[in-house]
Chain A
Amino acid sequence: MRKEVKQAIAGLIMVSPSFVLLLVIVVIPIVQSFVSSLANDAGGYDLSRYQFLFTDKGMRTNIFFTLKITLISCALVLLVSYSLALYMRFSSGKLVDWIRKTYMIPLFIPGVIATYGLMNLLGNHGWLARLLLPLGIELPRLIFDEKGIVIANIWFNIPFATMLLSSALTSIPASIIESARDTGAGKLRIFLRFIFPLSYKTFLVALTFVFMGVIGSFTAPFLLGPNAPQMLGVSMQQVFGVFQEREQAAAMAFFTFLLCSVLGYFYIRSMAAEEAANR
């Protein structure tokens, strides 16, 4: 009994730094912004700021625009990352070596620099346009448009998602796949029955990270996006810094947090299910 108490205390002490950190930099700010988002113009407390989010035409289009960009970016990033990870896991050769060596490069290029690079590459008079001009191909508008934001998101998120997914795929024992193949399972069947279920949890983790990164992104949408609709991050900055409506910005921040926590819920639930299964 005594030993257990001791262990429990030791455990609490070990957990406390991360708990305090979480409390100070995550929980308290969220509570604070929630409280300030409830303040209305008259000085009282109600949900008028949230009502504005869904009734103002500009705000509503911003929310839908953000969700659209986020979903498209998540789908494209995961599609590309998963294919890359699969390719690197099950193929070999010079090309695979090269991909393995280079796919992390975007992680080491600062966001603003990459964004300006993309502007120079994809702009109206950019390199790509100049290269394609002799071929008679005219590019659609990429910069100052939603396509620009999606391209930037792909660039920023693929390395990390690929890293996560390929480590998950590497941990699948080759024996499972070989034995399945021996019993006559086709490629698609192996993928659907073994590979995907075994990497599903990491897939969810990658999805969570990409989703949260994209929904809260600022630099790329600010510099590459259209003036309207705006992504929530850009709009939040404008409402906070330019219009000086702190409470409204707090409401937008809290709403973004709610959107993220929906995904967080699924993530935590699958983690808990896993833990229960292991017990």
Chain B
Amino acid sequence: MVRLKKSLTALSALALTTAVLSACGGKNENGASPADAATPADSSSAAASPSPSAKPVEFSFYFTGSQNVKDLWDTLIPMFEKQNDKVKVKEVYIPSGAGAEPTYDRILAAKKAGKGSGDIDLYEDGINVVSQGTKDDVWAALDTTGIPNLANIDPKTMTDVSNMAVPYRSSAVVLAYDSAKVATPPKTLSELLDWIKNNPGKFAYNDPSTGGSGSSFVTTVLYDGLPEDDIHNSDPAVMAKWDAGFNKLKDLGKYVYGKGIYPKKNQGTLDLLANGEVEIIPAWSDMVLQQLGEKLLPDTVKMQQITPGFNGGPTYLMVNKLSDKKDAINQFLNFVLSPEAQEVIVTKMNGFPGIQLSNMSQAMQDKFKGVSEGFRTFNIGDLGTEINKRWQSDVAAQ
């Protein structure tokens, strides 16, 4: 009986590997090595497939964000499950602002209580949670053996997160401006600061603790003139260098919208741009593109990246170290990083692909020529929280 069980497990494991390999073989047209690997596995699949025990493995995938993120996964997961009938993905969507932090807390609490993965196998979040989790040792390190398509990602981004997370899509903060009112948008940070002072009340950025676009503006101002290395440095010693930037922000207070009103959330400033109260805002490129598409923003709204670039950055997928379904998850991650899935991400989310553009179709490469460049990835870890704290006491409550 025990032996039978064992052989069944072995069979289903075999079936799983086959599914992984054949899946990448089918999709990866230009990646030669996975296709080669699939050939020997295919012959064994004949032996594995009649096994009745190949019960699909189901893992839970927690993600958060706005409705567009949910729409994205609602499209991608059925695509994946169609190709891999041995794996089921249970999606758990937590609307933005409705307790995404507790998801991470749950992972950590389950680990501390010795309860394994706490039924959260895969989790999606930003760089803060990635580094927090790396510190708490809850993420599994990823490599190309499990996920061949990891090779498609820029190796530098992977080093930035010590291979603990998959950057599967990214977007950048840009200046969104109303071209009917602003003929020549600022192209550098100093031009932007001058513009704000010359056009009082016509610029707004959101409270940095409530959304990435405001936070990016604040960080860009703070790190202006600092050595380039500092934006990849989470050493608290850097905090001493912020003074000049905070003074600039304080001074800017009387020139921004409402003489010091910082709306809440990324959408807060977009609303002000939409009803014409302000003319330039920092905003996420994907939100602008989407709302232009839905006619929520006037057609005259255009985007411009400045130098030094605003913060842009990937959204990451992290695998819970204690999950016992890693094979299935790897299979899924490999799918997400395939050019096919990445095309869906680009069209659905208006974001930049997570893999290097050279792996995408020519049409996609043309679409992003010059647009997906110019932004910088800040990786300052916990210092982001310190910035928010100090912004609240120095700039908001000045």
Contacts and interface: CB of A to CB of B under 8 A. Distances in A.
Interface string A134-160: 000000010010000000000000000
Contacts of A57: 393, 397
A242 B385 contact: yes
Contact of B397 (A123, A223, A228, A244): A228
Nearest to B261: A144
A125 B261 contact: no
A223 to B, nearest CB: 6
Interface string B231-261: 0000000000000000000000000001011
B385 A243 contact: yes
Contact of B264 (A61, A222, A228): A222
Contacts, number: 44
Which bracket fits the contact residues of A? 20 to 34
Residue among B263, B396, B397 with max Cβ neighbours from chain A (10 Å): B397
Given A124-B277, A125-B277, A58 B264 contact: no
Contacts of B397: 57-58, 61, 227-229
Interface string A171-214: 00000000000000000000000000000000000000000000
B361 interface: no
Nearest to B398: A228
B263 A241 contact: no
A144 B263 contact: yes
A144 B269 CA distance: 13
B243 to A, nearest CB: 18
Interface residues of B, number: 20
A179 B207 CA distance: 61
Contacts of A124: 258, 277
B96 interface: no
Contacts of B356: none
A244 to B, nearest CB: 6
B143 interface: no
Contacts of A223: 264
B392 interface: yes
B240 to A, nearest CB: 20
A243 B388 contact: yes
B138 to A, nearest CB: 16
A135 to B, nearest CB: 21
B55 interface: no
B134 interface: no
A231 B291 CA distance: 32
21 contacts: A58-B397, A124-B277, A125-B275, A125-B276, A141-B258, A144-B258, A144-B261, A144-B263, A222-B264, A227-B260, A227-B392, A227-B397, A228-B397, A238-B388, A238-B392, A242-B210, A242-B385, A242-B388, A243-B209, A243-B388, A244-B385
**The 6 A-B residue pairs with the shortest CB-CB distance in the complex, in nearest-first order:** A228-B397, A228-B396, A227-B396, A242-B209, A144-B261, A58-B393
Given A57-B397, A222-B264, A228-B396, 20 more contacts: A56-B393, A57-B393, A58-B397, A124-B258, A125-B275, A125-B277, A141-B258, A144-B258, A144-B261, A226-B261, A227-B260, A227-B261, A227-B396, A229-B397, A238-B209, A238-B392, A242-B209, A243-B209, A243-B385, A244-B385
